[in-house]
Amino acid sequence: MEMQWWIWLVFGIALILLELVLPTFFILWFGIGAVLVGLIALAAPTLQLDLQVLLWVILSSLTTLVWFKLFRNRKPDVRWTADSVIGEAGLLTASVSQFQKGRVRFQKPVLGNEEWTCVADTDIAAGERVRLAAIEGNIARVTRP
């Protein structure tokens, strides 16, 4: 039995379009594999069906592996982690003590906010410079520099 090359192209395009409906991000690679087999079958019209299916499995697997291999090695963006902002300098806009929360304003936004509710282990008056020691949920822990 011989399968026409255009059937592979239609099958591949259908799988790629199905990926738009079902956002699994996995069907896409089978669609790309089918399109590639269709192009190979167009170039080699005597290719048997079993070899075409084997090529589809191999090409789909290779495209999947290449894609995940490329993105597995990506380093995470550390600009938006709490560890990346420890040590930032800020100015207290409301005094803080061991049992009272205050407010601190940073020169540049820290995790998207310029002003944070803050706590400290010692009394620090408003208007003093402080350093960010930790982010605890949505509260900044500050210390004197």
Instruction: Indicate if 62 and 99 belong to the same structural domain.
Output: no
E strand or H helix at 21: helix 5-21
**So what's the pLDDT on residue 91?**
96
**So what's the pLDDT on residue 70?**
80
Series of mean pLDDT values for 10-residue runs along the chain (145 residues) = 87 94 88 96 92 96 89 65 84 94 92 92 95 92 93
- The sign one gets for the Cα dihedral 112, 84, 142, 130 is negative
Domain range spanning residue 66? Answer: 5-72
Q: Which amino acid is at 128?
A: E
β-partners of residue 57 are none
- How many domains are contained in the chain? 2
Instruction: Indicate if 50 and 101 belong to the same structural domain.
Output: no
**So what's the pLDDT on residue 23?**
79
CA-CA distance, 38 to 126, in Å (whole number)? 71
pTM score, two decimals? 0.53
**So what's the pLDDT on residue 3?**
81
Instruction: Indicate if 59 and 84 belong to the same structural domain.
Output: no
List the CATH number of the domain containing 134: 2.40.50.140
**So what's the pLDDT on residue 73?**
66
Coil vs helix vs strand at 117: strand
**So what's the pLDDT on residue 1?**
62
CA-CA distance, 81 to 86, in Å (whole number)? 10
**So what's the pLDDT on residue 77?**
63
Nearest to 35 by CA among 64, 14, 62, 12: 12
Q: Give the residue from 57, 72, 87 where a domain finishes.
A: 72
DSSP assignment letter at 121: S
Q: Give the residue from 52, 72, 92 where a domain finishes.
A: 72
CA-CA distance, 64 to 68, in Å (whole number)? 6
Token pair listed for 75:
């380093």
